[in-house]
Amino acid sequence: MVTTGTLAQLRSGDRGHIGLIDPSIPEMLRLRLRHLGFRPGTVVEVIRRAPFGGPSVYRLCDYDICLRREHARHVLLGEPA
């Protein structure tokens, strides 16, 4: 279980707890990530990564979601609540 860094830094098979969404990003992106389930305290696991920096598949809340690396950089990991 990884407790620091960003979602984009996790490797396939790694898990972490979401700490917060970067407050400096545009409000629409922050809302989109929240609506997709990326909320503080949620456990997220990297299922697989695309080569050459492409999107990755993450599992959270019992479903899988694909997210671009540039968006995953804004999801900060933290200690479990």
Would you state the pLDDT for residue 77? 95
Q: Report the CATH number of the 7-78 domain.
A: 2.30.30.90
Q: What is the pLDDT of residues 37-69, one digit of tens each?
A: 999 999 999 999 988 888 999 999 899 999 999
Q: Domain coordinates of the chain in residue numbers?
A: 7-78
SS3 of the chain? CECCCEHHHCCCCCEEEEEEECCCCCHHHHHHHHHCCCCCCCEEEEEEECHHHCCEEEEECCEEEEECHHHHCCEEEECCC
